[in-house]
Structure 1
Amino acid sequence: MTRKASFPPITDARTRLLICGSLPGDRSLAAREYYAHPQNQFWRLIAAVIDREDLPALPYEPRLAALRDARIGLWDAVASATRAGSSDAAIAAVEANDLATLAASLPDLRAIAFNGATAHRLGLRQLGDAASRWTIHALPSSSPLHTIGLAAKLPAWLELRQALAA
């Protein structure tokens, strides 16, 4: 079984909101970009959160710059794991990212959002008692494998705006 590894975190000292997925899917790993699958709704959902309609159409680096400008960071709960395909249900032999240490190192962090149930379950385990330091959001997954529509996912994602308010 192939071992797959996540990307480095996208954060800086101004990060107020950290969004954690589980482990990048095969399309994202091949592209070396977070949420690269064209049917993944992440970029459309986060565009609504930060009021940037143009976000999904931007090249990858300007999208990341827009997230940093909005004080949003990205990472994954899983550092590496074995997995056939891209489904979270197939994740096994998990090596966790040190989410608690990263979160504690971000002086302006207000909230941590988990993109999907697997990220939420694993991320809360990693944070342990420290989770009470931040507002925690369990988001419906942006993955195309989570088949409820964008409109059904959007209300939970829009709640993230509270963490970004001045």
Structure 2
Amino acid sequence: MNKEIIIPVKIAFPPIVDQNCKILLLGTMPGDRSLRLQQYYGHTGNHFWKLIYSLFKQPVDPDYEARKQFLLDHGIALWDVLESCTCEGSLDSNIKSEKVNDFFAFYRQYPALTEIFFDSKKAAHFYLKYVKESKDKNYHLLPSPSGANATKTFEQKLEQWKELLLYIK
């Protein structure tokens, strides 16, 4: 007898954003550990927070609420391209039945967001598949902060992530 495997739908987090943000950092969908913790980039093997704080030569704050405020204090918004999907495990390559966030409404609400940074090729792929590029936005691709992305060292990733500093007030 064939058993059907049911994979639950994953729902992304609301954005971290305010009216002063100019930069939008986009991931694909939070991984399982992040979803359990209810924190963006909650997996300790992910370099996201270390990269962000290293840009400003600061140690990572252990408090999640403080980390969110740190982003906002530097004009950086954080969200995911997908609102929901099914995904066995945490790898972007396993994503199916994806539903994209409503970027049209989001950009109307936050018009100062002009620099859009994708932190993975898969995030850029889904965005460009479902959301048309806008002439009033500039798009940038960063190397994935995932610890599973072993093609670059932390220092190599940081060098490329320094592009964010060009747009920070």
Structure 2-normalised TM-score? Answer: 0.90
Q: Give the counterpart of 2:32 among 23, 26, 37.
A: 26
Q: Which runs of 5+ in 1 are unaligned?
A: none
Q: Distance in 2 between matches of 1:153 and 1:121?
A: 20
Shift of 1:122: 1.1
Q: Distance in 2 between matches of 1:122 and 1:78?
A: 8
Give the direction of change, closer, same or farther, for the CA distance of 1:134–1:92 in structure 2 (3 Å limit). Answer: same
Instruction: Provide the residue aligned with 1:66 in structure 2.
Output: 70
Q: Which has the larger radius of gyration?
A: 2
The superposition leaves residues 7-36 of structure 1 with CA deviations (integer Å, 9 ceiling, x where unpaired) of 001111101101010000001000000000
Percentage of pairs with the same residue: 34
Shift of 1:52: 4.7
- The structure with more helix, counted as a fraction of residues: 1
Tell me how many residue pairs correspond in the alignment.
162
Q: Give the counterpart of 1:35 among 41, 62, 68.
A: 41
1:124-143 pair list within 5 angstroms: 124-130=128-134, 132-143=135-146
Q: Distance in 2 between matches of 1:40 and 1:61?
A: 18
Give the direction of change, closer, same or farther, for the CA distance of 1:126–1:102 in structure 2 (3 Å limit). Answer: farther
1:116-127 pair list within 5 angstroms: 116-127=120-131
The superposition leaves residues 84-104 of structure 1 with CA deviations (integer Å, 9 ceiling, x where unpaired) of 110000000101111233133
SS of alignment partner, residue 167 of structure 2: helix
1:47-126 pair list within 5 angstroms: 47-49=53-55, 51-54=56-59, 56-126=60-130
Q: Which runs of 5+ in 2 are unaligned?
A: 1-6
> Please, what is the CA RMSD of the aligned residues?
1.3
Give the direction of change, closer, same or farther, for the CA distance of 1:35–1:164 in structure 2 (3 Å limit). Answer: same
SS of alignment partner, residue 131 of structure 2: helix
Shift of 1:48: 2.4
- The runs of 4+ residues in structure 1 deviating greater than 2 Å are 124-127
